[in-house]
A and B are shown apart, each in its own frame.
Chain A
Amino acid sequence: MLFYLVRTPKGELVLSPFPELDKPYFEGGSFKEDGKNIEPYTVLTPGVPLAYLETVAVPSESILRALAREDVLKSFPWHWGDLEYLKDYLPGVVVGPESREPNVEIVKSLRGRKLTEDELRMLATSYGLKPEEVWQQAHLLVRAGLGEWVPAVRRERKGWRCQRCGESELEEWPSIYGAAFTCPSCRSLGTSSTLKVIYRDLRTPARENFGLRSLNKTSDLVLTPAQEKAAGQVLEFVQSTLESEALLWAACGAGKTEVCFPAAAWALGQGKSVLFAAPRQDVIHDVAPRLQQAFPDLSIPVLSGASAAKFSAGDLVLATTHQVLRFYQAFDLIFLDELDAFPYRDSRMLQWGVTQALRPGGKILFLSATPDPATLKRIRKEGKIIRLPARHHRRPLPVPVFKKMPDWSRVKDSGSLLSKMQPGFGSMLAALREHGPVIFFVPKISSVNVWTEILKSIFPGWSIAGSYSRDPERLDKLVALRRGDFDLFVATSILERGVTIEGAQVAVMAADHPVFDERSLVQMAGRAGRTRANPSGGVIFFAARETAAIRTAVRWINEQNELARTAGLLD
């Protein structure tokens, strides 16, 4: 989208992608009523992307002198012309001079949004409109002071920065405007470059009172005493004016999502906007029906790479952290699940996005079973930690048992490995199997098939399969696993989080492998004993040595159990 510098009849300089659309906003009635000749409404052509014009467009008459100092822009054929004469060469009014009325649907779906011009184009397509119609609707909001245009990549004091994801290490290339920059980090969401512009909505959330109605309907939400206690603390945090961040540190499978519902209902009742976010799609799609059940009055947009509706808006939104990049200061309260999970954990981009989506003065509650040390340290200092140490069935978390095994990486072939491990190894797995299907975690994709074959040779009568992230049959196999079709299932970290398998028992092979840190060990152990029907489970860590990660994982699990016991949350 190109921007033009416009001199209004009153002598003001404004930047506009649609000078003709803007005309009525700047003519000022008094000029016409007096019957005097109004000053011409003049436009500086050609149009230039906002990133290149906003830094030189100082509100003064010396704009041409300022442009003459720019390396590349100085050679452009700059010309001030009367809008009347230039009209045919500039973007026209698509919304129509009589219909400068807002399109209610579009205006609604732009609320709290941060969208590039290409995303606005996609929004237009979804409504069966021309891109210009949606751009002009957005521009009407900008003119009304309810939104703003910013370059997708903007010049800052030191270098350039992507305004969608905050990245400052950009790809530079030569454009007709001089150096141009494309953001490599948020490319999966569409192009962000100095040639593009972003619409940022500045409206406050709708103050409707539907939340209170929803709150009444959540009464069928049954919380365990442990959950109720934590939910009370979460509500206290949300209502207080003290901390802006808190961490809900819950045991694996303790039902931390539901703990947030009463606080969410209260916030909605106050007219606040609420976001539930998580890094991974499957978590979002798992939470969606539970959230909808708790808030039956609300239509809750579920935004993920897999969902068709990417631009729906609402006061309660469920989204992956990638989709959160498309919001700007939109939420008073954010619940961020699994902050220690890939890809959020190591992504400055996603962390920046969540911060951008929070309204000034808003609050974030992080949810995790295994918070990373940096977050723990920060929140211990500045925030509040809420513990949810017990599962709903009031039984302790299964504590992993460490079993020494030969150093796998030094064993040449599976035959000699087997001979060293037998017979204790087989009998331990068989003992696990008596209580339920065994999930057998391995550290690498390449180990999946190797161990599947070894285990098939040890247990010829068992139904055994394996899977990993890129396995084309992954989804089918997981369905079969949930159905209880397998005695043993070999998997990489794909089953580490967010999965509940009835009666699951856990074995981790090479638990001393560097890929398994204390957090992934706790998560894997957390797959066991999750359900009321099978509240206990066995967890075995096979490793050549007991690493610090193994010790920390066992300590964390013991600590949770101890906390729960002291609080009287265990039977």
Chain B
Amino acid sequence: MSKASIIINRTQELLRSLWYKGEEVCLLCGGQDGPICPTCIKEYFHPELARCQACGKLIARESTYCRDCLEHRGPQALTRVTAWGHYAGGWRDFIHRIKYQAQPRLVQKIAHLLAEWAVTQLPPPDSIVAVPMHPSRLAERGFNQAEMISSVLRWELGIPLLNGLERVLPTRSQAELSRQERLHNLTGAFKVRDQKNFSGHIIWLVDDVTTTGATLEACAQALRAVEVGEIYGLCLAAGIEKNLVSAGD
């Protein structure tokens, strides 16, 4: 495209944006009423369901914990965990586009909705901590999606980010492992640098997805070791209790 035609196109876009109200498409299904349409909210975010207090899983409204956590198979070191949506369908595809298709900018488009939701779920923290990525994976991907999410929350809510939690072992991807393997895979994987910065803090520990809660738990254990006050896990997506799957899907 020539320079002149780019200028003409841009001018046309600008004029259109002045004349017409921008109609945002849904980021998940491509339909109307974006950034996330009411149908997708219903389908993937289930406002009618509760979240397991220990691992963030979507559970029946009247429950407090999921079955795994009742049997003490979930995270122990966090104060509470919550997850925004169900890791399935269009919502999972959206997260994959961010992570695996080099489109981290998409996080910005959901920033406002995410922040609005987060403040209704968790008490205000002193700071936000992103689940770190090992340098070798960061070098390949070029960005850490948990940091991207933390960063937009910081801009939306004015809560400072706290650096210093590090991933010191290049572990295998959790996605490839079974529940048991996931728990062992992360032993000793995280470490806190400058522990005095963390002492007594109330923090939101942010990640993109939680399934067994093993990553959050491993981070929380490292944070507990440096006497962090309260740790609230916050994720974009989690699994759903098995007996709700038919309702969920």
B-binding residues in A (CB < 8 A): 1-2, 46-49, 168-169, 171-177, 180, 182, 187, 191, 193-196, 348
Contact A176 B140 (CB under 8 A): no
Closest to B105 in A: A173
Contact A191 B139 (CB under 8 A): no
- Residue from B1, B101, B138 in contact with A182 in the complex, judged by beta carbons closer than 8 Å: B101
Closest to B151 in A: A174
Contact A180 B102 (CB under 8 A): yes
Collect the chain B residues with CB atoms within 8 Å of residue A195's CB.
102, 140-142
A-B contact pairs, 21 of them (CB 8 A): A2-B139, A2-B140, A46-B139, A171-B103, A172-B105, A173-B103, A173-B104, A173-B105, A173-B143, A175-B143, A176-B139, A180-B102, A180-B142, A182-B101, A182-B103, A187-B101, A191-B100, A193-B102, A193-B142, A195-B140, A348-B1
- Residue from A47, A171, A176 in contact with B143 in the complex, judged by beta carbons closer than 8 Å: A176
Closest to B100 in A: A191
Collect the chain A residues with CB atoms within 8 Å of residue B140's CB.
1-2, 195
Q: Given A46-B139, A49-B142 in contact, is the A191-B1 Cβ separation under 8 Å? A: no
Q: Mark B134-146, 1 if CB is under 8 A from A, else 0.
A: 0100111111000
Contact B101 A191 (CB under 8 A): yes
A-binding residues in B (CB < 8 A): 1, 100-105, 135, 138-143
Distance (whole angstroms) from the CB of B248 to the closest CB of chain A: 24
Distance (whole angstroms) from the CB of A357 to the closest CB of chain B: 22
In Å, the complex CA distance between A39 and B104 comes to 44
Collect the chain B residues with CB atoms within 8 Å of residue A196's CB.
102
Closest to A182 in B: B102
Collect the chain B residues with CB atoms within 8 Å of residue A1's CB.
140
A-B pairs, 8 with minimum CB distance: A175-B142, A193-B102, A182-B102, A195-B142, A191-B101, A173-B105, A173-B104, A191-B102
Closest to A181 in B: B102
Collect the chain B residues with CB atoms within 8 Å of residue A174's CB.
104, 143
In Å, the complex CA distance between A182 and B99 comes to 12
Q: A46-B135, A174-B143 are in contact. List 13 more A-B contacts (CB 8 A).
A: A2-B139, A46-B139, A47-B139, A49-B142, A172-B105, A173-B102, A173-B103, A173-B143, A175-B143, A180-B143, A182-B102, A191-B102, A195-B142
Distance (whole angstroms) from the CB of B151 to the closest CB of chain A: 9
Collect the chain B residues with CB atoms within 8 Å of residue A48's CB.
139
Collect the chain B residues with CB atoms within 8 Å of residue A194's CB.
142
In Å, the complex CA distance between A300 and B159 comes to 60
Collect the chain A residues with CB atoms within 8 Å of residue B101's CB.
182, 187, 191
Closest to B144 in A: A176
In Å, the complex CA distance between A176 and B104 comes to 12
Distance (whole angstroms) from the CB of A347 to the closest CB of chain B: 13
Contact A171 B139 (CB under 8 A): no
In Å, the complex CA distance between A47 and B138 comes to 11
Q: Which of A1, A176, A348 has the most CB of B within 10 A?
A: A176
Collect the chain A residues with CB atoms within 8 Å of residue B104's CB.
173-174
Distance (whole angstroms) from the CB of B136 to the closest CB of chain A: 9
Closest to A153 in B: B102
Collect the chain B residues with CB atoms within 8 Å of residue A171's CB.
103, 105
In Å, the complex CA distance between A444 and B104 comes to 37
Collect the chain B residues with CB atoms within 8 Å of residue A187's CB.
101
- Residue from B1, B100, B102, B138 in contact with A176 in the complex, judged by beta carbons closer than 8 Å: B138
Distance (whole angstroms) from the CB of A152 to the closest CB of chain B: 10
In Å, the complex CA distance between A177 and B143 comes to 9
Closest to A171 in B: B105
Collect the chain A residues with CB atoms within 8 Å of residue B135's CB.
46
Collect the chain A residues with CB atoms within 8 Å of residue B1's CB.
168-169, 348
Collect the chain A residues with CB atoms within 8 Å of residue B141's CB.
195
Distance (whole angstroms) from the CB of A162 to the closest CB of chain B: 12
Distance (whole angstroms) from the CB of A191 to the closest CB of chain B: 5
In Å, the complex CA distance between A171 and B105 comes to 8
Collect the chain A residues with CB atoms within 8 Å of residue B142's CB.
49, 175-177, 180, 193-195
Distance (whole angstroms) from the CB of B210 to the closest CB of chain A: 24
In Å, the complex CA distance between A175 and B143 comes to 5
Distance (whole angstroms) from the CB of A455 to the closest CB of chain B: 31
Closest to B9 in A: A169
In Å, the complex CA distance between A176 and B139 comes to 8
In Å, the complex CA distance between A441 and B100 comes to 42
Distance (whole angstroms) from the CB of A522 to the closest CB of chain B: 29
Closest to A177 in B: B142
In Å, the complex CA distance between A48 and B142 comes to 10
Collect the chain B residues with CB atoms within 8 Å of residue A2's CB.
139-140
In Å, the complex CA distance between A49 and B138 comes to 12
Collect the chain B residues with CB atoms within 8 Å of residue A182's CB.
101-103
Q: Which of B102, B135, B138, B141 has the most CB of A within 10 A?
A: B102
Closest to A117 in B: B140
Collect the chain A residues with CB atoms within 8 Å of residue B102's CB.
173, 180, 182, 191, 193, 195-196
In Å, the complex CA distance between A48 and B138 comes to 11
Collect the chain B residues with CB atoms within 8 Å of residue A176's CB.
138-139, 142-143
Distance (whole angstroms) from the CB of B144 to the closest CB of chain A: 9
Closest to A152 in B: B102
Collect the chain B residues with CB atoms within 8 Å of residue A348's CB.
1
In Å, the complex CA distance between A175 and B102 comes to 10
In Å, the complex CA distance between A180 and B143 comes to 10
Closest to A47 in B: B139
Closest to B142 in A: A175
In Å, the complex CA distance between A1 and B105 comes to 22
Q: Which of A46, A169, A173, A180 has the most CB of B within 10 A?
A: A173
Distance (whole angstroms) from the CB of A153 to the closest CB of chain B: 9
Collect the chain B residues with CB atoms within 8 Å of residue A173's CB.
102-105, 143
Distance (whole angstroms) from the CB of B155 to the closest CB of chain A: 13
In Å, the complex CA distance between A191 and B139 comes to 17
In Å, the complex CA distance between A169 and B6 comes to 10
In Å, the complex CA distance between A182 and B142 comes to 12
Closest to A158 in B: B3
Distance (whole angstroms) from the CB of A88 to the closest CB of chain B: 12
Closest to A168 in B: B1
In Å, the complex CA distance between A173 and B144 comes to 12
In Å, the complex CA distance between A218 and B143 comes to 56
